[in-house]
A and B are shown apart, each in its own frame.
Chain A
Amino acid sequence: SSGINAEWPLRPGYKLYFEMAVPMLRTTLTLTPSATRGMATLKDIEMRLKSVKNMKKITSSMKMVSAAKFARAERALKPARAYGTGAASLYEKNDFDTSGKDSVLLALSSDRGLCGGIHSNVGKMVKAAHAETPITKAIIVGDKAKAILVKVIGDTFLSCFNNVGKKPTSFTDALDIAEEVLSHDYDTINIVYSKFKNIVSYNTEEKPVPSLESVESNAAIYVYDEVDSEVLRCYQEFTLANIIYHSMKECEASEQSSRMSAMENATKNAGEKIDALTLQYNRTRQAVITRELIEIISGASALE
């Protein structure tokens, strides 16, 4: 009789070997790590499966955490939006000169990653603006934007803020940033931030804010009655803090929603990978059993 012949059903006589061999095989499976022809061993697949399952747990819990943070951020964004658009109304209803040569870039991002394209989009917009007109002064908020931009405009950094993203931003944070901005001379501030559109999308935008000098030098301001320079200076400073606060709240909502969808995608991909790996694991397991059976059977038939 021929050697290897594993056609099912087994020829009678070998059935006994099969009934004895299967329980023996089950105990020997874990002791046979030999790979045949580059096929991944059972142990390898098992390890990969375990690590992907862990990853899925982590991404799924990150998604839930950022969903909770997003709900909070969106709720805080509503009054912040009314507040910020009210603050910017003076600049929107009047055309103040924002094309000043001496402009400061304020890039808003955060310290934490895994949020889709938020930080890289801010970096892209800044790099594009830098290619058009070179940036001379920059204030960076968030370690991620700093890491992206340090190679491009690192020598223009006036100051950097970090510890952003762990807790929701407060008005005091915006006041600190505004104070830092106002301590430098400039014609315009260009704020680059991520504006929240809806739960699945955001836009990276650049918002120019004129300085006290460019507002004072524009005749349009004198439509407003009884405006002396002290009042105007206080007004400008407060308005700048308000606009920065609004932009930071928009960034927060965009970042949390983006992280939520990024983690959801990661969880979905991990799930698909787990399915594919499980199939591969089962197929490999069956192939190992079949191989052992063939060896036993061919060994037994050689004895005849």
Chain B
Amino acid sequence: MLSEKVVCNSHGQDSSYFLGWEEYEKNPYDEVKNPKGIIQMGLAENQLSFDLLESWLEKNPQPMAFRNHNNQSIFKDLALFQDYHGLPAFKNALVKFMSEVRGGSVSFDPNNLVLTAGATSANETLMFCLANPGDAFLLPTPYYPGFDRDLKWRTGAEIVPIHCSSLNGFRITKSALEDAYKQAEQQNLKVKGVLVTNPSNPLGTSLSLHELDLLVNFISSRNIHLVSDEIYSGTVFSSPSFISIMEVLKNRNLMNTEIAKRVHIVYSLSKDLGLPGFRIGVIYSTDERVVSAATKMSSFGLVSSQTQHLLSEILSDQNFTKTYLSENRRRLKERHEMLVGGLKKSGIGCLPSNSGLFCWVDMRHLLSSNTFEGEMELWKKIVYQVGLNISPGSSCHCSEPGWFRVCFANMSEETLDLAMQRVKSFVELMPKQNNQSGHQKLMNRNSRRTKSLPKWVFELSFHQREIVANER
């Protein structure tokens, strides 16, 4: 009766990632009304800097809605504006903002920009443009669970994982790339490209120059595409600083080459500015045909003209954007430290990270068995007993059990504090194993870890190494 798309599971919403949400919905924490409820730590939202936006609104009031700065009514023109090329004022402001986020190291041409209804739509649209049904994209694991829906569901494209391992901090390696490519070939899948999220969700790390170079070399030699989802680019709060793929192309003198035409960027204002409700997504490509096709496809999910107008006003205010970006980063850093520090007190470590709205938390030592069943068991305890909705690594297709993504920017400080207390209590009550106190076991593991830092750490500068060593 209905299409196969309806009856299949590619929308991915039966996965644990979404089930945790459902549990949260049933019993949501509220400081006053439901203090024993589940705290939402599975939502990668940035709620830390709304006051900055609100104060912008206060300083730039519209005495009546839909008026421009000359107080002329623009209602009619906005209401009628459905040109899929987008509001020029908005695109101009967006490219400036995107450049600012990258420290001015690269600039973007508004003519290469396509507006879409969120990054969700941007990613799907790019798949429609770059892959035929049955073609594959390689994605490093762990990756954002929503990609299963966004990249595969209606497009018919496939995802083949590039396995990344905790042994080197989940960095992308040349052999992992090649293995993934071979794997795809064995499955008779034509590889059309690689898709990376930079900074990474769920890892919270930004790609190193080495990784970026690897990627450029890889796509160059295989003649395939690279999609760089840079939705978290504005959340890089500590070193190493963010290196955009555009910068790499520029520094390698590859701008305006065939290779550069196969590099496409996805962006959105949902994370950096914390505006997921406004559905502002972006595709950036220097391949005219991609821009042309994607622009036409954007008809299926345009950005509301009302929203384009509001954001063009906000983003054109460069005093505001400068202040916002730096203050937002500062707050994210602080919050990140709170989470990392809080977990450390419970003997729980995180992958050292410099960005994102979450930490990639190492709970392997808390597993009853080093299996995904063990992970699920632990996850359920955390959801139901500890009362925290966090995302299990398996939902992110991590190849090793025991890792969890824990968000820190979508709640108040007090709530985060409470969450840390709950974790501490939970860990303290965990059954003791192997004739060693849990605490002792943790201490031993911690000291083993600091003694043998993984190789990749030595690719960092001395200063960065310090940070890594400390954060462990």
- The judgment on whether A and B are partners is no
